[in-house]
């Protein structure tokens, strides 16, 4: 756990582009909210590995969003069921239902559909909000945090030692 928090701090404090971190967070939201072994998640994994998104953030985000998903399951079910049973979309879903690939994706499950739509709707706003927050953090908070007494005290802790050792080994800050 200490190592994970150290990693996150390192990423936030590093020169990694905010976009890479934010995108990793958004992808982790899709994988975390939707059932892990859904077909679309293979595509997300491929994108995460091929695009230069931050993997540490992705893994941490995945843990975070998977935990939250359990609490949000009733909402996902409600959204999914409402969308899947909407008479206006019946034709579309019927066409999808008769496509082998989409049947494998299990789009007709209320939780899969609900969680996927929920994460897709939040994808773009989350990207920009995360981006903004990371930049704000680096500009205003980081320098101030470094100077605070708490941070000074923190630097003397075991946690910071782990973080520093890890950074040195990875050739980072």
Partner 1 sequence: MKKIRWQGLITFVVLLLFVIGAWFLFVDVAIKKTIESKGAELVKAKVELADADFSIFPLGLSLTGLEVANPDAPMTNAFQVDRVALSLEGAKLLRRKVVFKEMTLEGVKLNTPRKTSGAISETLSRIPVVSKEPSEEKVKWPSFKIPDAKEILQKEKLQSLELIASFREDLQKEKEKWQSRLAKLPDKNKLGEYQKKIDRLKSGKQRGIEGILGGASEVLTLRKELSRDLNLIKTAQKELGQNMTSLRKRMAEVKKAPQEDVHRLKEKYSPSPEGMANASRLFFGKKVGNWTDTFLNWYKKLGPILERVKERKHGREVVKPTRGKGVDVRFKEQEAYPDFLIRIAHVAIEIPAGLVKGQVRNITPDQDILGVPLMYEVAGVNLTGLASLKIDGSLNHVDPSSAKDTANVLIRGYDISDMDLSSDAELPIVLKRATADLEARVTIAGETLKANSLTSLQSVNMGTPNEEETNSLMKALTSAISDMKAFDLKAEISGTIQDYDLKLSSNLDNVLKDAVKKQVKAQAVQFEKRLKSVIQEKVGGSMADLETSLGGLGSIDSELKARSHFGDELFKRSRESGSGGMKLPL
CB of 72 within 8 A of CB of 118? yes
Decide if 32 contacts 61 (C-beta within 8 A): yes
Shortest CB 153 distance to partner 1, Å:
36
CA 91 – CA 73 distance, rounded (Å): 26
In angstroms, rounded to a whole number, what is the distance separating the alpha carbons of residues 115 and 75?
Answer: 8
Q: Which is nearer to partner 1, 9 or 111 (CB)?
A: 111
Q: Is 141 in the site for partner 1 (CB under 8 A)?
A: no
State how far the alpha carbon of 131 is from the alpha carbons of 13, 22, 104, 137, in Å.
14, 6, 34, 10
Q: What is the DSSP letter of 157?
A: S
For position 52 contacting partner 1 by CB under 8 A, the verdict is: yes
Interface residues for partner 1 in 69-88 (CB under 8 A)? 73, 76-77, 80-82, 84-85, 87
Which residue, 25 or 53, is less far from partner 1 as judged by CB? 53
Q: What is the DSSP letter of 138?
A: I
Q: Does 132 bind partner 1 (CB under 8 A)?
A: no
* Closer by beta carbon to partner 1, 22 or else 109: 109
Binding residues for partner 1, rule: CB under 8 A, are 17, 35, 42, 45-46, 48-52, 73, 76-77, 80-82, 84-85, 87, 90, 93-94, 96-98, 100, 103-104, 106, 108-112, 114
């Amino acid at each position: 756990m200490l190592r994970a928090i150290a990693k996150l701090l390192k990423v936030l404090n590093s020169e990694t582009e905010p976009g890479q971190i934010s995108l990793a967070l958004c992808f982790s939201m899709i994988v975390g909210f939707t059932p892990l072994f859904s077909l679309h998640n293979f595509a997300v994994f491929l994108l995460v590995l091929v695009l230069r998104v931050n993997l540490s953030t992705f893994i941490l985000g995945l843990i975070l969003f998977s935990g939250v998903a359990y609490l949000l399951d009733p909402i996902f079910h409600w959204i999914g069921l409402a969308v899947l049973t909407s008479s206006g979309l019946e034709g579309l879903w019927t066409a999808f239902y008769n496509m082998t690939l989409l049947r494998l994706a299990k789009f007709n499950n209320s939780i899969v559909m609900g969680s996927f739509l929920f994460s897709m709707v939040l994808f773009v706003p989350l990207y920009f909000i995360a981006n903004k927050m990371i930049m704000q953090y680096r500009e205003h908070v980081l320098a101030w945090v470094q100077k605070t007494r708490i941070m000074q005290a923190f630097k003397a802790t075991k946690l910071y030692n782990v973080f520093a050792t890890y950074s040195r080994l990875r050739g980072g800050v």
